[in-house]
Chain A
Amino acid sequence: EAGVAQSPRYKIIEKRQSVAFWCNPISGHATLYWYQQILGQGPKLLIQFQNNGVVDDSQLPKDRFSAERLKGVDSTLKIQPAKLEDSAVYLCASSRTGRLNEKLFFGSGTQLSVL
């Protein structure tokens, strides 16, 4: 079974530039999450999708961050414009239906450095 795929693996940009990350969840997984992990901290949920609908985006900085999952499969997370404090690992995760009795699978993440 293929895992959660994320790209790019690393990205270095200057502040005020734009950047986009891509995630392809495990086939058949309806629920998709984007997490932000700042160095030394645990991952923090940015947004949760159920199929192509947003379930929770309460912690997404909507003035600069956006995410979409148009066909209910893969998803993109965009930052425009980036700030220094956006430097972090961005993790994508998926689960079959989102219920706690199922496993949550994570991708390897995209490491973003904003200079």
Chain B
Amino acid sequence: DQQVKQNSPSLSVQEGRISILNCDYTNSMFDYFLWYKKYPAEGPTFLISISSIKDKNEDGRFTVFLNKSAKHLSLHIVPSQPGDSAVYFCLFSAGGTSYGKLTFGQGTILTVHP
């Protein structure tokens, strides 16, 4: 039962352009959403999060959008930089206040070309 799907295994973008990463989910109990990024040989690191009471959250070049009716989560990076090249995971939490029930997406490999 795949509750979360990151449809694009990889994404290639030119430096300065917008990167858009997407996740779809089926579990309507998810109420907290996060994005983590992972560089090779390192653990995932926190990027940005959003709760279900919001539809948008910004932090510098990173914006997360939540469309609850469509059960769709997206991450926009503007402008994209070569240092953004990494694997990006969407994470979903259901009905709790702790991280224990996190469901990860499969990951999208973002490559930003100079």
Interface string of A85-115 (1 = CB under 8 A from B): 0000001010100111001111111000000
CB-CB contacts below 8 Å: A34-49 with B? 40-45, 48
Of the stretches B11-19, B60-68, B69-77, B95-103, the one at the interface is B95-103
How many chain B residues touch A (Cβ–Cβ < 8 Å)? 24
A45 close to B42 (CB less than 8 A): no
Q: Report whether A104 and B100 are in contact in the complex, using a CB–CB cutoff of 8 Å.
A: no
The reply to whether the CB of B35 lies closer than 8 angstroms to some CB of chain A is: no
Q: Count contacts on A: residues with CB < 8 A to the other chain.
A: 26
A55 interfacial contact with B, CB 8 Å: yes
The interface residues of chain B, by DSSP majority, are classed as mixed
Which residues of B (77-114) have their CB < 8 Å from a CB of A? 89, 93, 96-107
What residues make up the interface of B, taking CB atoms closer than 8 Å to A?
A: 4, 32, 36, 41-46, 49, 89, 93, 96-107
28 A–B pairs (Cβ distance < 8 Å), ordered by A: A31-B98, A33-B100, A40-B106, A41-B104, A42-B4, A42-B103, A42-B105, A43-B104, A44-B104, A45-B101, A48-B98, A48-B99, A48-B100, A55-B100, A91-B43, A95-B99, A98-B99, A99-B97, A99-B98, A100-B96, A104-B46, A104-B99, A105-B43, A106-B43, A106-B44, A107-B43, A108-B41, A108-B42
